[in-house]
Amino acid sequence: MNPVSKQQQARWKRNAIWLLGLCVLTGFHFWLPPLNSGISSDSYSASATGKRAFFEIAKQRFAGRQVLRNRQPLVQFVEEHRYSDDILCLLGPSRSPTQREMDALYDWLRDGGSLIWALPMNARKDFEFEGVTAEPRDSIPFFDKDASTAESTLLESGKINWSTNVDFQTSRGETLVEQDGKPQALRLTESMFVIVASDYVFSNKAMFHGDNSVLAFRLLEATRGSGRIFFDESLNSSGTPKAVGLLTEPFLWPVTVQLMLLILLYAWRDSRRFGPALPPNMAEHQNIVAHTNTLGTLYFRTRNGKIPLKSYLAQFKTELRISQNKNLERVLTPIAIRMNVDVERLIRIIKHAEKVVEQARVDRGMAVRIIRRLALIREAAKQRTPTKSNLGDSDDE
């Protein structure tokens, strides 16, 4: 039995890696990894404005209850979880709910669900829900730089850092937090609804300031819901335009996996050699004669001798140093002596060639005869001894 070569072992290892990658991608059909929505203020984010600390602490504080994230569309979530005592948390969503989503929230409260809604700290729009109106302030706070103290009926005493950009105007509900005599958190007891003017108190950074963490959980408990706690991420995941991130959404994830599988299989195919190796493709070096023959054949097929005649005449004048016919007679006199012809005849040949080149189309036979005569003159210019002219009988055929 022949021993396995090192090349075969390396090939098997590479194939095993490709196969492992194929299995992992196939597994993504049945398991969707947790994907960040890309928003710095959601419950996935560990940034200063994120809510991850509040989410993780809530899982420990409410150990006997499920604390989950919702990535389904809000309308679909409400339809699937109606008539329950669950708590839905909208903590500073990156976009406002649409009218259809607002109607779904009304249905959620009417059917017995609990809701806590914290407006984004930098909210600048008028807001109205369940008879509660929010009006923007004149100045915009810069995170906790402009944070100030507030008072809450949920705490007997304590230090609360509060930063908001809106004030509530309502005659309904119970005031849970107020600042400068204006309500900042309200509870509508008849519908188990808590609305907060700012999501600052739920942020990662604010959780470590004073008694903010205690107040945050007291506001959550004020909804009086006893079921599961859902942190909504649907408004965050659809809050900003995403070109590539859209492929990670649950409804498009199967298509994304299929695309990745096709790319993987294509890369695997191109990384393998099927069949024996091909011999090296060595281009044969062509000499100048073959190049000239090919170029002449192409000119012959065009049935027009103007281009080769014009090129040859230009090269002819360059080699004989003829410029604008000023020194034509002086240059051609010694050549005429060697060829034993009159210099006027050589001048007529060149003049005839210049006249023919100006035509739009030149017969191939005429171009050949003119080039032949120019070639004889050119050859005589290189020699130092007399030579036979062979110019023919006529100079202007």
* Beta partners for residue 188, in sequence order: 193
The tally of CA atoms less than 13 A away on the side-chain side of residue 162 is 25
Identify whether residues 137 and 207 lie together within a single domain.
yes
Are 216 and 180 contained in the same domain? Answer: yes
In a domain, 394, yes or no: no
Q: How far apart are CA 110 and CA 125, in angstroms?
A: 26
Q: What pLDDT does 141 receive? A: 54
Asked if residue 388 is part of any domain, the answer here is no
Domain that residue 70 falls in: 52-243
Tens digits of per-residue pLDDT, 115-171?
999 988 877 666 777 778 888 876 555 555 555 778 888 887 778 888 888 888 877
pLDDT tens readout for residues 261-294 = 888 888 887 777 666 767 766 666 667 777 778 8
Total-model pTM: 0.54
- Same domain for 193 and 133, yes or no, is yes
Please report, for the domain that includes residue 218, its CATH number.
Answer: 3.40.50
Low-confidence residues in the chain, pLDDT < 50: 1, 397
Check: CB of residue 116 under 8 Å from CB of residue 198: no
Residue 262 CB partners (closer than 8 Å, separation 6+): none
- Residue 68's DSSP bridge partners are 230
Give the pLDDT of residue 1: 46
| 80 and 211, same domain (yes or no) | yes
The answer to whether the Cα torsion of 4, 7, 8, 12 is positive or negative is positive
Same domain, 61 and 195: yes
Q: Are residues 17 and 125 in the same domain?
A: no
Kindly state whether residues 59 and 168 are assigned to the same domain: yes
Clarify whether residues 134 and 267 are in a common domain: no
φ, ψ dihedrals at 395, nearest 5°: -105, -10
Distance CA 68, CA 254 (A): 23
Return the closest-CA partner of residue 177 out of 162, 199, 165. 162
The verdict on 82 and 201 lying in the same domain is yes
In angstroms, the first-to-last Cα distance of the chain is 85
CA contacts within 13 A on the Cβ side of 353: 27
Examine the domain organization and report whether 338 and 212 are in the same domain: no
The number of folded domains in the chain is: 3
Q: Residue 251: what pLDDT?
A: 63
Q: Are residues 313 and 266 in the same domain?
A: no
Same domain? For 239 and 300 the reply is no
